């Protein structure tokens, strides 16, 4: 059993190093093509009971290592994720042990089981996109370009299939010192798929739109552990100051983007209620100050804020007050409400059972309501898809935005709670695939990073230094890949 334990731990280490981590911030992409090999070489020797044990060990430890930053957010949430994936992999190892009895054909079943597992990990209410094999390749255009046609799962299948066929060929050769015809055939089949995948990538065509959107992405690096109206005002003043610096340097800017929940207060509702009731509050004063500021500019603002208990992205278009009046006017506004909420953090899974508890916590701001529609926002004549944080780790919602007519993704995010560059780099590695899959560029505005511009091929063209107050100016060609 010592050999099995070492093999499982080696797979854990290889997976940790393949994904962005605190040692190699981009991850060692080539290790993903081998990180399942160690345990696949020994799983056939396990009883069902032992396979469940070692599967749980692998699942728990691999997600503990890859997503170590979850502990910083919540020990309870972290343990929930680690235990859940421990259970998943216990089941997977049992299935692998069962199909290993097919001997020379087992690698085919290994591939189907692991591929199906990684696909299902991202689905449903508790879907979790981190740790998927294809995301390790995020900086390798040779492998990623064809994802425009094969989608994420075409590349994912290639990586898993190689792990399985390589382990089968290696294991058979080590035991018998010869090659097996079936496994050799599998290797040839992989080679054909791989060549086809790479070949497709060379023939992608970029459609030139001729439209350039001049944008400033503001990174305010606010402390997520500080609360209260005084702190929220301070954060807005910081956003204004950084924006003024950016507009002074780049007065031709057309769009300014502030990150997810950078304006914590529901300024729209506070302003409307104050106008209706005639009573000023600290929140309404903050709203009026913000709207006066926006109306004084000659560009559109996209702001991460709250709106009626929704985590939202709001576009504000300045309006000019009537001559001879200093009355504050609410800018023209459009809102997108976050559809996909983080279980336990933004949403309560058992809300239909504990309704009173859920509704109380929505009103207190502990949980959000979920938006029901995918809505595009307009910045001038540019249609924006605005996935908010966790939403860009899944393919489905950005795909709906693209099909609805988005010509640019603007992802608003806040990973500052993790205090981890590795977390932010993993999030970036996942999100660039949304541009690759849909063939349209992406801007990411994040509280502490990674704030960047990603082109329609998924290449990061410009990126701001993380964990600092700064801004990033981007001239975005709204081209797309056919």
Q: Is the pLDDT of residue 244 over 90?
A: yes
pLDDT recorded at residue 324: 64
Q: Indicate the burial class of 345 (C-beta count within 10 angstroms; 0-12, 13-18, 19 or more).
A: middle
Write down which residue in 201, 230, 245 finishes a domain. Answer: 201
- How far apart (Å, rounded) are the C-alpha atoms in residues 19 and 29? 7
pTM: 0.94
Residues 286, 254 within the same domain: yes
- Note the pLDDT tens digit of each residue in 18-32: 999 999 999 999 999
Percent of the chain at pLDDT exceeding 70: 99
Residues 18, 112 within the same domain: yes
Which CATH number is 432's domain given?
3.60.110.10
Residues 469, 322 within the same domain: yes
Residue 347 lies in a domain: no
Model confidence at 172, pLDDT cuts 50, 70, 90, reads confident
- How far apart (Å, rounded) are the C-alpha atoms in residues 262 and 415? 12
Residue 361 lies in a domain: no
- Note the pLDDT tens digit of each residue in 128-169: 999 999 999 999 999 999 999 999 999 999 999 999 999 999
Residues 221, 290 within the same domain: yes
Give me the count of residues in the chain.
482
Residues 6 or more apart in contact with residue 325 via CB below 8 angstroms: none
Q: 133, 108, 107, 106: which is closest to 118 by C-alpha?
A: 133
Residues 123, 178 within the same domain: yes
Write down which residue in 152, 170, 201 finishes a domain. Answer: 201
Residues 247-256 have a mean pLDDT of 97
Percent of the chain at pLDDT exceeding 90: 76
Domain count, the chain: 2
| Residue 312 near residue 303, CB atoms below 8 Å | no
Residue 408 lies in a domain: yes
Q: 6, 473, 475, 464: which is closest to 246 by C-alpha?
A: 473
- How far apart (Å, rounded) are the C-alpha atoms in residues 452 and 315? 20
Domain that holds residue 239: 207-339+374-481
Number of alpha helices (DSSP H) and beta strands (DSSP E) in the chain = 15, 14
Residue 388 lies in a domain: yes
Residue 369 lies in a domain: no
Residues 438-445 have a mean pLDDT of 97
Residues 184-205 have a mean pLDDT of 89
Q: b/e map of 87-121 (b: 16 or more CB within 10 Å)?
A: ebbbbbbbbbbebbeeeeebbbbbbbbbbebbeeb
Residues 183, 66 within the same domain: yes
Residue 384 lies in a domain: yes
Which among 16-20, 359-363, 417-421 has the top mean pLDDT?
16-20
Residues 326, 453 within the same domain: yes
Q: Indicate the burial class of 44 (C-beta count within 10 angstroms; 0-12, 13-18, 19 or more).
A: middle
Residues 81-92 have a mean pLDDT of 96
Residues 417, 471 within the same domain: yes
- How far apart (Å, rounded) are the C-alpha atoms in residues 80 and 68? 13
Residue 66 lies in a domain: yes
Write down which residue in 201, 229, 251 finishes a domain. Answer: 201
- How far apart (Å, rounded) are the C-alpha atoms in residues 150 and 154? 5
Q: Which has more confidence, 70 or 182?
A: 70
Residue 352 lies in a domain: no
Residues 93, 178 within the same domain: yes
- How far apart (Å, rounded) are the C-alpha atoms in residues 143 and 25? 19
Angle between helices 106-121 and 75-99 (to 10 degrees): 160
- How far apart (Å, rounded) are the C-alpha atoms in residues 22 and 166? 29
Residues 410, 468 within the same domain: yes
Residues 172, 307 within the same domain: no
Per the DSSP assignment, residues forming a β-bridge with 453 are 443, 462
Residues 387, 448 within the same domain: yes
Q: Is the pLDDT of residue 478 over 70?
A: yes
> DSSP label at 298?
S
């Amino acid at each position: 059993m010592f050999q099995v334990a070492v093999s499982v731990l080696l797979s854990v280490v290889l997976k940790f190093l393949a994904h962005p981590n605190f040692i190699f911030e981009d991850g060692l992409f080539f290790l993903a093509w081998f990180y399942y090999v160690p345990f696949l070489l020994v799983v056939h020797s396990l009883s069902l009971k032992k396979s469940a044990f070692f599967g749980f060990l692998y699942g728990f430890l691999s997600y503990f290592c890859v997503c170590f930053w979850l502990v910083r957010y919540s020990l309870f949430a972290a343990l929930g994720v680690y235990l859940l994936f421990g259970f998943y992999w216990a089941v997977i190892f049992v299935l692998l042990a069962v199909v290993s009895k097919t001997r020379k054909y087992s690698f085919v079943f290994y591939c189907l089981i692991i591929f199906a597992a990684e696909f299902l990990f991202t689905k449903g209410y508790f879907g979790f996109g981190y740790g998927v094999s294809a995301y390790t390749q995020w900086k390798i255009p040779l492998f990623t370009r064809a994802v425009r046609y094969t989608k994420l799962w075409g590349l994912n299948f290639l990586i898993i299939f190689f792990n399985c066929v390589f382990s089968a060929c290696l294991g058979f050769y080590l035991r018998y010192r010869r090659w097996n015809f079936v496994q050799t055939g599998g290797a040839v089949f992989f080679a054909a798929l791989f060549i086809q995948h790479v070949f497709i990538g060379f023939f992608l065509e970029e459609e030139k739109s001729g439209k350039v959107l001049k944008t400033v992405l503001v990174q305010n690096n606010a402390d997520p552990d500080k609360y209260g109206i005084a702190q929220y005002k301070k954060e807005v003043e910081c956003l204004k100051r950084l924006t003024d610096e950016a507009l002074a340097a780049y007065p031709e800017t057309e769009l300014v983007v502030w990150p997810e929940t950078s304006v914590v207060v529901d300024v729209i509702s506070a302003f409307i209620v104050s106008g209706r009731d005639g009573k000023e509050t600290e929140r309404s004063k903050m709203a009026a100050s913000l709207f006066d500021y926006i109306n004084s500019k000659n560009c559109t603002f996209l702001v991460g804020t709250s709106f009626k208990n929704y985590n939202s992205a709001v576009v504000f278009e300045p309006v000019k007050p009537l001559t001879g009046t200093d009355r504050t006017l609410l800018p023209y506004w459009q809102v997108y409400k976050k559809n996909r909420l983080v279980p336990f953090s933004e949403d309560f899974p058992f809300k239909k059972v504990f309704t009173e508890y859920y509704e109380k916590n929505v009103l207190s701001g502990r949980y959000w309501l979920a938006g029901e529609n995918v809505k595009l926002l307009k910045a001038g004549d540019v249609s924006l898809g605005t996935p908010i944080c966790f939403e860009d780790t899944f393919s489905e919602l950005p795909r709906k935005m693209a099909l609805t007519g988005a010509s640019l993704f603007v992802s608003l995010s806040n990973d500052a709670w993790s205090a981890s560059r590795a977390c932010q780099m993993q999030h970036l590695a996942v999100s660039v695939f949304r541009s690759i899959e849909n063939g349209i560029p992406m801007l990411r505005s994040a509280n502490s990073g990674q704030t960047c511009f990603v082109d329609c091929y998924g290449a990061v063209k410009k990126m701001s230094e993380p964990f600092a107050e700064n801004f990033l100016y981007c001239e975005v060609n709204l081209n797309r890949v056919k």
